[in-house]
Amino acid sequence: MIQSRSKKIVEIETSVDVGQKEAEKEKDASVQVFTDLIRSIQRSQAELVGAIEERYRATKLKAEGFLTELKTEISELESRRKQLEQLSQSEDHLHFVQSFQTLCSPVNKDWSNTGVHSDLCFETVRSAMTRLKERVDELVGADIRMKRMREHAVDLTFDPDTAYCSLVISQDGKQVKARGTKQKVPDNPKRFETCAEVLAKEGFTTGKFYYEVQVKGQISWSIGVVRESIDRKKDIPMSDDDGYWTIGLDEGIYEACTSSSVKLTLKEELQKVGVFVDYNKGSVSFYNADSKSHIYSYTGYKFKEKLYPYFGLQSDSTPFIITPSPETH
């Protein structure tokens, strides 16, 4: 009985420890969501104040234009009135008739429907609140989506048998760096021989998997998955037609490496990329792992071969780092 109770104590203490770790994860995730929300509110507030001030400046400028025009017309009418008074005292009847018609001609502009409307803020506020609500929904949705994807996080390591001869892999297999000089490496049918590319050791033929890679400091890179049978000995186009489902950065431009190359417009520079693959659904999706925002998705494919996580990087660059998912770390 003592042994069984002692065992139960250990189980309970273990459960408490696990619960504490889960609580910390939930707390960190919640803090991140609210931090992003506060930033969004502050940004929306600044945009709203700026919009109101801009509308006011435009209204004020318009009003000043009206006032200037009205004052000019009043001055002209005052001048006409004085001229008419002088003309009324003239004994030159021909001059009177000729001048009277000109002086009494109507002012062209009709001011009856002219006004300056100051009730401009309500629509601006409503528009700002709508955008803020959309942002809140986006943040909450992104947090839930990312948490679900990270449940499928896998532990990857770089495969030295596939690495191009200029790539150096760390002892733990979690970092890879390109250097300017080539090194002697054993011949291997799995090795890339034309570009600085490497695969993960782990391949997948079913289900879902997710991984994250730190790309901070990289000037040119590509990340995604490839089918096992890609040609590793020739310099071939990198596209979905050729078995590459990747995105990348080249000369400051982010793009999806499709057959027609899709330019990607991002709000911020990528520091860490998340890749989520649903093998059975035939989709590969990319995310900003820090902001949890969606970048691009390949969908509607029928995968028939083993897929390997793929990494391409620039020579003499900072390392690629396979990072643990927060939900599994």
Same domain, 189 and 291: yes
Q: Which of 53-57, 92-96, 172-176, 324-328 has the highest mean pLDDT?
A: 172-176
Query: What is the tally of structural domains in the chain?
Result: 2
Does 67 share its domain with 214? no
pTM for the model stands at: 0.62
Single out the residue in 65, 88, 105 at which a domain terminates.
Answer: 105
**Neighbour-count burial of 113, counting CB atoms closer than 10 A to its CB (0-12 exposed, 13-18 middle, 19+ buried):** exposed
Same domain, 52 and 186: no
Q: Are residues 211 and 76 part of one domain? A: no
| Distance from C-alpha of 83 to C-alpha of 87, rounded to nearest angstrom | 6
pLDDT digits (tens, 9 = 90+) for 311-321: 998 756 688 89
Mean of pLDDT over the chain:
80
Q: What angle do CA 102, 104, 106 make, to 5 degrees?
A: 100
DSSP 190-215: TS--SSSEEEBS--BSSSEEEEEEE-
CATH number at residue 181: 2.60.120.920
Mean pLDDT of 156-179: 91
pLDDT value for 135:
62
Answer yes or no: is 91 within a domain: yes
% residues pLDDT > 70 (the chain): 74
Work out the average pLDDT over 73-84.
Answer: 71
Residues 197 and 300 in one domain: yes
pLDDT in tens, 235-260: 777 889 889 999 999 888 999 988 88
Asked whether residue 172 falls in the same domain as residue 80, the answer is: no
Q: In the chain, pLDDT over 90 holds for what percent of residues?
A: 30
The residue among 105, 124, 149 that closes a domain is 105
160 part of a folded domain: no
State the average pLDDT over residues 142-162.
Answer: 88
Q: Is the pLDDT of residue 108 over 70?
A: no
Q: Is residue 114 part of a domain?
A: no
Q: What kind and span of H or E run contains 298?
A: strand 294-298
Query: What are 22-32's pLDDT values in tens digits?
Result: 677 667 766 77
Of 61, 89, 105, the one marking the end of a domain is 105
**For residue 157, is it within any domain?**
no
Lowest mean pLDDT among 77-81, 270-274, 313-317, 325-329: 325-329
Residues 176 and 33 in one domain: no
141 within domain boundaries: no
Judge if 189 and 265 occupy the same domain.
Answer: yes
Q: What is the tens place of the pLDDT at every residue in 267-279?
A: 889 999 999 999 9
**Secondary structure of residue 307 in the 3-state scheme:** strand
Determine the structural domain holding residue 207 and report its residue range. 167-323
6 falls within a domain: yes
